[in-house]
Amino acid sequence: MNKKYQIELEQETDGRWIAEIGALSGAMVYGNTREQAIMNIEALALRILADRLEHGEASEELNLLFAA
């Protein structure tokens, strides 16, 4: 099964965009544009997943990415 992380977007009253992935604790960023917020949250999500992998906390989603 291939799971995708849902990105939630919201525009602040000052024009900035907030992007969040609820399934990843701590995954929330700002961007000046919607596109920048999406790029920022995708980059942060990859960092969070890489950190989990380095600490032996690899999720099932990561296991589906690689075969040895």
Question: Which amino acid is it at 3?
Answer: K
Instruction: Over range 30-51, report the average pLDDT.
Output: 96
pLDDT surpasses 70 at 3: yes
| Contact between residue 32 and residue 16 where contact means Cβ atoms under 8 Å apart | yes
- Specify the pLDDT at position 33: 98
Residue with tokens 């969040």: 20
The pTM is what?
Answer: 0.84
- 51 vs 68 pLDDT, higher one: 51
Model confidence pLDDT, tens digit, residues 23-39: 899 999 999 999 999 99
